[in-house]
């Protein structure tokens, strides 16, 4: 396989496994073309706080974050909502009967079977850190119990009958688990056969920031240096056929960025075919080095060895990226960045930099910015993407998207 170097000279040859699954189970949704730059006019407005997570259940979009009220795009009354709400993907109508009372922020969502959604975060009620809710009325699903102790949930991935849970917790139910667990999607019972343990947090206890999965691989990033004792600085791949850490390691995220970012990986997403994934980071400007601070980087899922290198890297030049969505036609990245294609910048626009405030798209093959440039008010940044058949959902803390008012939730339609 020939590997493309883009923007930073860090790529090298990667050896791929001979067999790659043809049908990933929970990778990103494929889209044949880049989405429009003009957002739809139907998405509701979140009136305060920040949106951090989406899930699609049938035709219902569930939205999570740290907020207290929403309003439909067509106007009307302000609707109280405690950190989670739901709306119809096609009409934008907010579901009146879905109004759970969560007493803390939501960080992660995953669609469940039978019209349900898994909700993870830092709340204590109606269940500690993790609950399964009916979308029809917001009530907890009887029979599912997986209370989280010693921390919070930051990432959820459902794969068939299993739910993977990531965070900085120390126990789920009565089962000790450090930052990562697999539970039964119906009952919440912790799987005793899955015990991969992140270790040696970069600053304090280990923490999983983001996860993505295909049929036989789970990719995780976060504040850790090891997985089951094997060196895996901030990024690792788990072989789900064995339940063990895969023969896949990289030193790409071993170097330190700024001291106030001891761990700097954030979002990740798999391609629709599962063959590669992209990781985005914070970390601070690092001009003239090979560090992956404030970057997006592509890796091949089925590479082997302990020294896997990125296929390409795109640097912002000193601004954080928090979220990524890979659709096959584009790699969408969001944060509070000012530029892409900016390896020579350090809080400046270096040679070749392109202006992409708050949101942008990267060519999956070359690693260079696409022309797509709707812009958004930067703020803290994009914290959530979700690709759906009708477009790309965007969640953040600001109110301007594509030069229009879209408070904290917006969607660019498919073209």
Whether residue 385 is predicted with pLDDT greater than 90 in this model: the reply is yes
Whether residue 111 is predicted with pLDDT greater than 90 in this model: the reply is yes
Whether residue 10 is predicted with pLDDT greater than 60 in this model: the reply is no
pLDDT digits (tens, 9 = 90+) for 223-241: 999 999 999 999 999 999 9
Whether residue 25 is predicted with pLDDT greater than 60 in this model: the reply is no
pLDDT confidence tier of residue 20, bands split at 50, 70 and 90: very low
pLDDT digits (tens, 9 = 90+) for 142-153: 999 999 999 999
Give φ, ψ of 95 to 5 degrees.
-70, 115
pLDDT digits (tens, 9 = 90+) for 311-360: 999 999 999 999 999 999 999 999 999 999 999 999 999 999 999 999 99
Instruction: Determine the pLDDT at residue 371.
Output: 98
Provide the token pair at 130: 């993790």
Strand partners, 180: 166
pLDDT confidence tier of residue 29, bands split at 50, 70 and 90: confident
| d(C-alpha 66, C-alpha 295), whole Å | 26
Whether residue 269 is predicted with pLDDT greater than 80 in this model: the reply is yes
Whether residue 289 is predicted with pLDDT greater than 90 in this model: the reply is no
Is residue 1 within 8 Å of 376, Cβ to Cβ?
Answer: no
pLDDT confidence tier of residue 396, bands split at 50, 70 and 90: very high
- Distances in whole angstroms, Cα of residue 85 to Cα of each of 67, 89, 116, 231: 10, 13, 13, 40
Instruction: Determine the pLDDT at residue 11.
Output: 37
Half-sphere exposure at residue 241, Cβ-oriented, CA atoms within 13 angstroms: 6
pLDDT confidence tier of residue 288, bands split at 50, 70 and 90: low
Once rounded to an integer, what is the mean pLDDT over residues 175-202? Answer: 98
Once rounded to an integer, what is the mean pLDDT over residues 162-166? Answer: 98
Instruction: Determine the pLDDT at residue 24.
Output: 36
Whether residue 141 is predicted with pLDDT greater than 90 in this model: the reply is yes
Residues 232-249 as b or e (16 or more Cβ within 10 Å = b): bbbbbbbebeeeebbebb
| d(C-alpha 148, C-alpha 152), whole Å | 7
Provide the token pair at 93: 């109508």
pLDDT confidence tier of residue 17, bands split at 50, 70 and 90: very low
Mean pLDDT is lowest, of 124-128, 284-288, 372-376, for: 284-288
Whether residue 4 is predicted with pLDDT greater than 50 in this model: the reply is no
| Reduced 3-state DSSP string for the chain | CCCCCCCCCCCCCCCECCCCCCCCCCCCCCECCCCCCCCCCCCCEECCCEEEEEEEECCEEEEEEECCEEECCCCCCCEECECEEEEECCCCCECCCCCCECCCCEEEEEECCCCEEEEEECCCCCCCCEEEEECCCCCECCCCCCCEECCCEEEEEEECCEEEEEECCCEECCEECCCEEEEECCCCCECCCCCCCEECCCCCCCEEEEEEEECCEEEEEEECCEECCEECCCEEEEECCCCEECCECCCCCCCCCCCCCCCCEEEEEECCCCCEEEEEECCCCCCCCCCCCCEEEEEECCECECCCCCCEEEECCCCCEEEEEECECCEEEEECCCEECCCCCCCCCCCCCEECCCEEEECCCCCCECCCCCCECCCCCCCEEEEECCEEEEECCCCEECCEECCCEEEEECC
Read off the pTM. Answer: 0.94
Is residue 279 within 8 Å of 267, Cβ to Cβ?
Answer: yes
| d(C-alpha 206, C-alpha 178), whole Å | 7
Instruction: Determine the pLDDT at residue 26.
Output: 56
Mean pLDDT is lowest, of 3-7, 385-389, 411-415, for: 3-7
Neighbours of 328 (CB within 10 A): 17
Whether residue 87 is predicted with pLDDT greater than 50 in this model: the reply is yes
pLDDT confidence tier of residue 23, bands split at 50, 70 and 90: very low
The percent of residues above 90 in pLDDT, for the chain, comes to: 91
pLDDT digits (tens, 9 = 90+) for 295-306: 999 999 999 999
Neighbours of 42 (CB within 10 A): 17
Per the prediction, the chain carries an average pLDDT of 93
Whether residue 47 is predicted with pLDDT greater than 70 in this model: the reply is yes
């Amino acid at each position: 396989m020939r590997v493309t170097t883009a923007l930073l000279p860090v790529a090298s040859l990667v050896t791929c496994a001979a067999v790659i699954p043809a049908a990933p189970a929970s990778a990103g949704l494929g889209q044949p073309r880049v989405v429009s730059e003009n957002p739809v006019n139907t998405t509701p407005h979140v009136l305060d706080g920040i949106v951090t997570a989406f899930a699609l259940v049938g035709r219902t979009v569930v939205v999570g974050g740290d907020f207290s009220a929403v309003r439909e795009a067509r106007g009307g009354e302000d609707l109280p909502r405690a950190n989670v709400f739901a709306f119809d993907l096609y009409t934008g109508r907010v579901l009146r009967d879905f109004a759970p009372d969560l007493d803390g922020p939501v960080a992660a969502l995953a669609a469940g079977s039978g019209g349900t959604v898994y909700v993870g975060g830092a709340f204590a009620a109606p269940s500690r850190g993790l609950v399964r809710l009916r979308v029809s009325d917001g009530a907890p699903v009887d029979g599912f119990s997986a209370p989280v102790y010693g921390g919070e949930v930051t990432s959820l991935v459902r794969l068939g009958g299993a739910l993977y849970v990531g965070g900085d917790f120390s126990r789920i139910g009565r089962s000790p688990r450090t930052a990562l667990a697999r539970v039964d999607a119906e009952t919440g019972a912790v799987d005793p056969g899955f015990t991969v343990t992140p270790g040696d947090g970069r600053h304090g206890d280990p923490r999983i920031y983001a996860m993505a999965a295909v049929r036989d691989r789970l990719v995780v990033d976060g504040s850790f240096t090891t997985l089951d004792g094997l060196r895996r600085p901030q990024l690792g791949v788990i072989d789900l056929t064995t339940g063990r850490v895969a023969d896949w390691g990289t030193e790409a995220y071993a170097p330190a960025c700024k001291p106030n970012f001891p761990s700097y990986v954030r979002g990740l997403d798999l391609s629709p075919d599962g063959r590669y994934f992209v990781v985005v980071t914070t970390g601070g400007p690092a001009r003239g080095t090979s560090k992956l601070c404030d970057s997006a980087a592509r890796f091949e899922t089925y590479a082997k060895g302990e020294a896997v290198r990125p296929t390409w890297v795109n640097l912002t030049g000193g601004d954080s990226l928090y979220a990524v969505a890979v659709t096959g036609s584009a790699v969408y990245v969001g944060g509070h960045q000012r530029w892409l294609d900016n390896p020579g910048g350090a809080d400046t626009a270096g040679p070749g930099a392109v202006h992409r405030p708050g949101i942008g798209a990267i060519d999956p093959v070359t690693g260079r910015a696409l022309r797509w440039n709707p812009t958004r008010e930067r703020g803290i940044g994009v914290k959530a993407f979700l690709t759906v058949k009708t477009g790309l959902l965007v969640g953040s803390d600001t109110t301007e998207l594509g030069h229009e008012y879209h408070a904290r939730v917006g969607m660019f339609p498919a073209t």
